[in-house]
Structure 1
Amino acid sequence: MSVRSRRAEGVGHMIPEHKIQEVLERVDLVSLVSRYVELKKAGREFKGRCPFHQEKTPSFYVVPEKRFYFCHGCRASGDAVSFVQRYLGKTFLDAVRDLAREVGVDLEAAQDPGARERQQLKEATDLAAEHFRALLWEEEGRRARAYLASRGISEETAKAFGLGWAPAAWTSLADRLTKAGMIEWGLNAGLVSKRNKGDGYFDFFRSRLIIPIRAPEGRPIAFGARLVDAEEGPKYLNSRESRLYNKSETLFGMDQARDEIRRRKAAVLVEGYFDCIALHQEGVKHTVALCSTALTPGHLKVLGRAEARELFLLLDGDQAGLNAVERLAGPLLAAGAAAKVALLPQGDDPDTFIRREGAVGLERLLTEARPLTNHVFLTLLPQGKEASFEEKMAALERLKPVSAQLPVGLVRSAFFGALSAWCGLPAAELESSLRSKAPPPAVKPAPKPGQPPARGAAPQGPAAPRPAPVKPPDALETLYVAAVLRDPRLVVRDTFRVYDELSHPGLRLVLAHATSGHGAEDALFEAHDTLKRAVEAASRQLSEQQGSALEHYFLQLCRAIMLRRINQQLDYIKRTTSQMTGAIDLSEETKQLLTQRIELLSLKKRVEEEIRPSPPGTKAPMQPV
């Protein structure tokens, strides 16, 4: 796919879901369909010959109050966007744009400038990742490949992590970005810098092995870079933070580790990129690393989304590693995380240990790991109650940075209770001595009307409207999308055209992006967390379905969704006609509904006859309700 087409598709993907909903609410569906179909009023509905198949007897209905159309003959159904897609052959995104222009919804104004910048950063970062990766496997990358071999990193592992090479040339990447029309985007991403004198740009990364930092979905968002065979500059350089990359919410290796973390319900945390890569290569695939920053609540949130219930700290077996445990203890204890410390032998780091002892040795180390509080107390005050007064005071002084991060409440009280039991001093006295370090409650009262903002505070404009909560998607529809993300070719097997009838705008956006050739990871990159979690859960539910089994499951899903739609229509007719006592009381509208019921029952029979028994080992989808 060309850069131009990728850019156009990417911008379309930034249409907010609530704007799509606004378009659907503003469109007069009857007027829209009437341009192409002669409709006649039939009670609360409008009826005509279906534009999607040849028929003599009208079986195509438009229901304006529900903004929905349905054909009993060919089973076509959906909303205004799907009608434009189906009748005019447009993509989902183009159909939304066309209707938005028609009804006066300004999609460009609705797009957050920050989101537009994020898209530009993604484009530039994608190009850079491809550029670096290609150079590693050319003659230019010979030195970098030799360095990888010296560290025991295989070609397979290097390719799995997308490693690359930034040559010594000053403008290798800058030239590529300029040619693609992305040089300003590359500048904003920190990939290039402006020359101090004269025009032009030069590369930020030179003579370095490139380590892509990826989002959990797998897309590169930043880079770490290790100096190779050069004397100038620091050993490691990292991308600066941007709208795309926030290192306090990013864990290196999460894209590779996510599935294994979910399986084990545990994660191993290391501090170096190559520590993480080496552990993955040896089979310890639930390992992640910090990106040159302290552990934050954001990191713990990422681990929580991956269902990590236990965290193992695997740090260097020297004083720096011991200090790192103390540094990490505060946020972990404050969050109430179940953390353990696995002690490496003196002088070892995870990389050297795993190469010498292998996965079996490391698993043994993890089995022997001790709880974080036990480790901290034992390290700072090995003799416990038997320690001298001076030793206890020194230990308490070192614990101040840890206790300072504990919020007032149960976690803080439990910590001081455990510390009291260890050192033999009263818990109340311990907490009192460190109370001045307790963090204040994070409450920011709103200024009163007419009251100026506090000194140093940014000027406040009108309060931004609170975004509407994102509605969780339907379970069956989410399974449908998850199956297509796994194998986009399945869409052509959907004879019911369920993709035109998905009720959740977010699911339709994801599906439109995935079927444009960008892949599952990119399709979910900008999705709201509520939607992303639902699709990921559905993907796990499909984890055992492969090949023909996945295809059969997908077809069952299509039919199940179709049957549910038919049952919903039948229920509506039943409720509407149940008040009539005899044929003499039937209105024209009721007669139409009863005729529609006969057609629906006939359609339901045909759909049910298409459902075949599941092959052995295939779990059938949920039945329609």
Structure 2
Amino acid sequence: MIPEHKIQEVLERVDIVTLISRHVELKKAGREFKGRCPFHQEKTPSFYVVPEKRFYFCHGCRASGDAVSFVQRYLGKTFLDAVRDLAREVGIDLEAAQDPGMRERQELKSATDMAAEHFRALLWQEDEGRAARAYLHSRGVSDEVAHAFGLGWAPHAWSLLADRFQKHGMLEWGMKAGLVLKRNSGDGCFDFFRSRLMVPIRAPEGRPIAFGGRVVGVEDGGPKYLNSRESRLYNKSETLFGMDQARDELRKRKAAVLVEGYFDCIGLHQVGVKHALALCSTNLTAGHLQVLRRAEARDLVLLLDGDAAGLAAVERLAGPLLAAGAPTRVALLPQGDDPDTFARREGAEGVERLLEAAQPLTTYLFATLLPQGRAATFEEKMAALERLKPVAVQVPPGLVRSALFGSLADHFGWQPAQIETSLRAKTPPPAPPAPPAHEATARPAPRPVAERPPPESEALYVAAILREPRLLARDTFRVCDELSHMGLRVVLAHATSGRGTSDALFETSELVKKAIDAAWRRLSEGGLALESEFILVCRDIMLRRIAERLVYIKRATEQTPGAFDLTEETRQLLAERIELLALKKRIEDELRPSGAGTKAPMQPV
């Protein structure tokens, strides 16, 4: 990925008039340059280059854009190749400019992608993957679900993956990803995962970022589960397993079911409970809750074993859930069951009944820690409070904390002040105040420039093409060249280069992901309805561009004293205004939806 700010620097450094003059004879016309359009046959020049705005446009064929889009269109280059060519021309070293951290992420991505494909292929080899496939079938996992989750097999051989990395010159990348390790003695490396059924852990966009491995068929194969270490790609405190498979169902239900194991999550999906997710660590963090909020999962259900381990998990997870004010319920499985086995035996209907009967988190917590409630002895109440201290300490002062103490007081039969006094010893101390300015030992770091959020209509345009790439052929006015947000242009370039939607979204900023995600939810699922919405978005963007140009012309010509005193520049601008108004009418006539209704009205300005 080329950093967005570097693409902007290339556009600022390129002399667009000089660039286009190599291919088009241009003549000065006031503040602009005019010539015959290189993209269609014409006798009267209607092609303008505006150096002040760094863009070109043609009133005849409606071609428009910046220096990058001109190179793309005229020389048939891809977006990224056009940027690289122009960067070389103006002396910008994109390789040197690339963030070392971004380069490392790209290396980790390549290594993880290769490993995922390596493991996946071995699982489906007739002889090599037989034991792993038998294990999957014994757990009721169908081949279809195994393919959907990208499951794989790491054989017992010591260096099969390491040898493959070595062959492709990626051994160092595989070591950075923790997929291969150096031998303790001698040269060479060995595979980290061996004799394990491999479960890829994926980003919400669907790209593998890490692995979990379950030992199969080996008596002494180390721990039952082995997980990738954290890296620039993988932060387990911000990753939920199954998010790529559950995203649509989460938004539909506005709820999520949280379990603790990969195969618990896979087993629930197998029977049709598709809003299930699994933690990739033993703790639930603010990062996990932020991921759930972005996916619009407002209500959470903890589906846990009905034994001491299940109760311990509730106590462990209650603190961050209460601190975040996340509406949470607890569903307990029958003794001896886990979510996977229960789902296989009872099916989706049985799981849904269990979820419907789930208790509110605090109700369950109080009832299990102090079943007798007010009738409990003093010693029993103090023991219960002691177990609640790790939960209470995570809830910051405020309404939620006060409500928690009030509910505890009601259950215990004590006053809220007594409860608070008993739990106060574990309350975290307030953060120390910042030192006065004159005591500062170092100057504060400058604040980074805030990223500009993408315009809504441009995000809708890109989201529609990500959903149905065929729509790009319906862009008769080449709105793709009119996109003003460089982050969206980069996403579109990757998505239309054959690399796929998940790859296009993987490296973009959270702000761009959020805008595309919101746009994705506004659009129809596909077909004529989506095409109709896409046409309206194209119309909106084009009419906005024309409106902006008309405003500029109005300001530049409104001081004109009289018709006989017009300068050549003013005449050109007024002629351009007539052409723009004609273009506006053509757009309004041509960009009409094909009869399908839209899910949400997207009216042009």
TM-score range with shorter-chain normalisation? Answer: over 0.9
Q: CA deviation at 1:558?
A: 2.9
User: How well do the aligned residues superpose, as a CA RMSD in angstroms?
Assistant: 2.1
Alignment partner, residue 587 of structure 1:
567
| Correspondence for 2:469 among 455, 463, 488 | 488
After superposition, what is the alpha-carbon deviation per residue over 1:271-310, rounded to whole angstroms, capped at 9, x for unaligned? 0111100101111111100113311111001001001111
After superposition, what is the alpha-carbon deviation per residue over 1:517-540, rounded to whole angstroms, capped at 9, x for unaligned? 111111001111111011111112
Kindly tell me: are residues 102 and 308 of structure 1, through their superposed partners in 2, closer, same or farther at Cα, counting changes over 3 Å? same
Alignment partner, residue 5 of structure 1:
none
TM-score scaled by structure 1? Answer: 0.92
Kindly tell me: are residues 342 and 616 of structure 1, through their superposed partners in 2, closer, same or farther at Cα, counting changes over 3 Å? same
Query: Hey, what's the Cα distance between the residues in 2 that align with 1:355 and 1:194?
Result: 42
Alignment partner, residue 45 of structure 1:
32
Amino acid at match of 2:352: E
1:400-411 paired onto structure 2 within 5 Å: 400-411=389-400
Query: Hey, what's the Cα distance between the residues in 1 that align with 2:431 and 2:480?
Result: 45
On the 8 A contact 1:329/1:402 being kept in 2, the answer is yes
Q: CA deviation at 1:194?
A: 1.1
Determine whether 1:98 maps to 2:79: no
Determine whether 1:529 maps to 2:510: yes
Alignment partner, residue 194 of structure 1:
182
After superposition, what is the alpha-carbon deviation per residue over 1:302-348, rounded to whole angstroms, capped at 9, x for unaligned? 00100111110001111101110000001111111111111211221
Query: Hey, what's the Cα distance between the residues in 2 that align with 1:581 and 1:451?
Result: 60
After superposition, what is the alpha-carbon deviation per residue over 1:440-492, rounded to whole angstroms, capped at 9, x for unaligned? 3456847967866xxxxxxx8x7554322121112222111112212334324
| Correspondence for 2:523 among 537, 542, 546 | 542
| Correspondence for 1:598 among 564, 578, 581 | 578
Kindly tell me: are residues 85 and 443 of structure 1, through their superposed partners in 2, closer, same or farther at Cα, counting changes over 3 Å? farther
Kindly tell me: are residues 619 and 266 of structure 1, through their superposed partners in 2, closer, same or farther at Cα, counting changes over 3 Å? closer
Query: Hey, what's the Cα distance between the residues in 2 that align with 1:141 and 1:607?
Result: 58
Determine whether 1:368 maps to 2:357: yes
Amino acid at match of 2:554: K
Determine whether 1:290 maps to 2:279: yes
Q: Which runs of 5+ in 2 are unaligned?
A: none
Q: CA deviation at 1:357?
A: 1.4
After superposition, what is the alpha-carbon deviation per residue over 1:92-113, rounded to whole angstroms, capped at 9, x for unaligned? 2222223333334443333221
Secondary structure of 2:185's counterpart equals coil
Alignment partner, residue 86 of structure 1:
73
Q: CA deviation at 1:153?
A: 0.7
Alignment partner, residue 484 of structure 2:
503
After superposition, what is the alpha-carbon deviation per residue over 1:338-378, rounded to whole angstroms, capped at 9, x for unaligned? 11111211221111111121111111111111111111111
Secondary structure of 1:406's counterpart equals coil
On the 8 A contact 1:318/1:348 being kept in 2, the answer is no
Query: Hey, what's the Cα distance between the residues in 2 that align with 1:484 and 1:444?
Result: 50
Query: Hey, what's the Cα distance between the residues in 2 that align with 1:549 and 1:385?
Result: 60
1:406-555 paired onto structure 2 within 5 Å: 406-441=395-430, 445=434, 464-546=445-527, 548-555=528-535
Query: Hey, what's the Cα distance between the residues in 2 that align with 1:510 and 1:392?
Result: 57
Q: CA deviation at 1:217?
A: 0.6
Q: CA deviation at 1:542?
A: 2.1
Alignment partner, residue 8 of structure 1:
none
Q: How many residues align?
A: 603
Alignment partner, residue 204 of structure 1:
192
Determine whether 1:385 maps to 2:374: yes
Q: Which moved more, 1:63-72 or 1:197-206?
A: 63-72
Q: Which runs of 5+ in 1 are unaligned?
A: 1-12, 453-459
Query: Hey, what's the Cα distance between the residues in 2 that align with 1:115 and 1:284?
Result: 37
1:291-330 paired onto structure 2 within 5 Å: 291-330=280-319
Alignment partner, residue 3 of structure 1:
none
Query: Hey, what's the Cα distance between the residues in 2 that align with 1:27 and 1:391?
Result: 76
Secondary structure of 1:533's counterpart equals helix
Q: Which moved more, 1:340-349 or 1:277-286?
A: 340-349
Q: Which moved more, 1:402-411 or 1:244-253?
A: 402-411
Secondary structure of 2:290's counterpart equals helix
Kindly tell me: are residues 213 and 157 of structure 1, through their superposed partners in 2, closer, same or farther at Cα, counting changes over 3 Å? same
Secondary structure of 1:281's counterpart equals helix
Q: CA deviation at 1:27?
A: 2.7
Kindly tell me: are residues 440 and 16 of structure 1, through their superposed partners in 2, closer, same or farther at Cα, counting changes over 3 Å? farther
Query: Hey, what's the Cα distance between the residues in 2 that align with 1:449 and 1:433?
Result: 41
Query: Hey, what's the Cα distance between the residues in 1 that align with 2:347 and 2:40?
Result: 64
After superposition, what is the alpha-carbon deviation per residue over 1:247-280, rounded to whole angstroms, capped at 9, x for unaligned? 1110000111111111111100000111100101
Alignment partner, residue 173 of structure 1:
161
Q: CA deviation at 1:83?
A: 1.9
Amino acid at match of 1:225: G
Q: CA deviation at 1:424?
A: 1.7
On the 8 A contact 1:144/1:209 being kept in 2, the answer is yes
Alignment partner, residue 6 of structure 1:
none
On the 8 A contact 2:10/2:86 being kept in 1, the answer is yes
Amino acid at match of 1:32: L
Determine whether 1:16 maps to 2:3: yes
Secondary structure of 2:213's counterpart equals strand
| Correspondence for 1:573 among 538, 550, 553 | 553
Q: Which moved more, 1:63-72 or 1:278-287?
A: 63-72
Query: Hey, what's the Cα distance between the residues in 1 that align with 2:350 and 2:524?
Result: 30
Amino acid at match of 2:595: P
Alignment partner, residue 246 of structure 1:
235
| Correspondence for 2:18 among 31, 39, 47 | 31
Amino acid at match of 1:298: G
Q: CA deviation at 1:619?
A: 5.2
| Correspondence for 2:102 among 115, 133, 145 | 115
Amino acid at match of 1:244: L
Query: Hey, what's the Cα distance between the residues in 1 that align with 2:64 and 2:298?
Result: 44
Query: Hey, what's the Cα distance between the residues in 1 that align with 2:601 and 2:476?
Result: 18
TM-score scaled by structure 2? Answer: 0.95
| Correspondence for 2:206 among 215, 218, 221 | 218
Amino acid at match of 2:166: T
Kindly tell me: are residues 32 and 407 of structure 1, through their superposed partners in 2, closer, same or farther at Cα, counting changes over 3 Å? same
